[in-house]
Structures are given as C-alpha cells and as structure tokens.
Amino acid sequence: MALTDLNVRNIKPADKQQKLFDERGLYLLVTPAGSKYWRLKYRFVGKEKSLSLGVYPEVTLKDARDRRDDARRLVAAGIDPSESRREERIARREQQDRSKGAMRFILDSDGALSFRLGARSLNLTVSETAELRRFLDATRAVISKD
C-alpha cells in the first residue's frame, strides 16, 4: 500500500528504526529519535544499494517520488545514481575551488612559503623553501628558453 502525506506526517517513532515502504523501492526510514529520511532501495549490477533522497518534511512525499523516478531512470540507462551523485559533488567542489580564486603564494618574513588554492593549502618550512628555490634555479639553468 502506497504512503500518503497524512500517513507520513502522523508516523510516531518506535523503539527501533522503522522502514515504511511506498512503491518502486521508495521508503521512509523513521528513527527512534523521530527523524524521517527518504531512501531508495535499488539494484545495480546485481548488488542491492540504497540512496538517500532527503529528509522529511524538507522533502515532501511528492518530491521524494520525483527523485525516486529520476534515480530509476539513471539505473535504467546503466548509470549508478550514487556514483553519479558522488561525481557531481566532486565536480562541484572543484568548481568552487576554482571560482574562489587563483593559486596564491605567500612568502612570510622569515622565508617560509605557503601555497593556497581555495580551502586547500600547503605550507613549506624555511629550509623546504630554500630547497625549492635551489631546485628551481637549477632547472632554470638546464631548460633552454627556445
């Protein structure tokens, strides 16, 4: 039997987690603390997998069903929805790093060098900075300017 918005709204938490199934793999996971999570149970390449679709009430029953249908379309096309989501998240994070600005080099007064790109950074000690400088000077002498 499919869930209704009234059923979802009135569900009370129990001592253990409850899985209330809707249809075509969609279910609502209700925790003992009272949290309600939309999940999709699906199979990909013979393995059973689960995909998080959001938290109720931010994601309504209708929204969860729409997200389920989108994920099932990906599975039908031979794409794992969880891998697709992970790749999108990585691409979005890399884009944010690029949009935060170009790489920044900071040379402290004591001679230590820091590289910064978005949230990532690399800090060199004074001796590591001197070693890098010697390396760059040596490669500059070897590489021709043709």
Predicted pLDDT of residue 96: 74
Residue 20 main-chain phi, psi, to 5 deg: -110, 110
Predicted pLDDT of residue 100: 63
Q: How far apart are CA 100 and CA 112, in angstroms?
A: 23
CATH number for 5-98: choose from 2.60.40.1080, 3.30.160.390, 3.40.50.150, 3.40.50.450: 3.30.160.390
End-to-end Cα spacing for the chain: 75
DSSP H or E segment with residue 24: none
* CB 9, CB 37: distance < 8 Å: no
pLDDT digits (tens, 9 = 90+) for 95-133: 876 666 666 788 888 888 888 776 678 899 999 999 988
Q: How far apart are CA 50 and CA 137, in angstroms?
A: 54
3-state secondary structure of 120: strand
Q: How far apart are CA 95 and CA 108, in angstroms?
A: 28
pLDDT digits (tens, 9 = 90+) for 83-95: 999 999 998 888 8
Cα-only R_g, the chain: 26
pLDDT digits (tens, 9 = 90+) for 15-63: 999 999 999 999 999 999 999 999 999 999 999 999 999 999 999 999 9
* Residue ranges covered by each domain of the chain: 5-98, 101-142
Tokens read off for 9: 């709204």
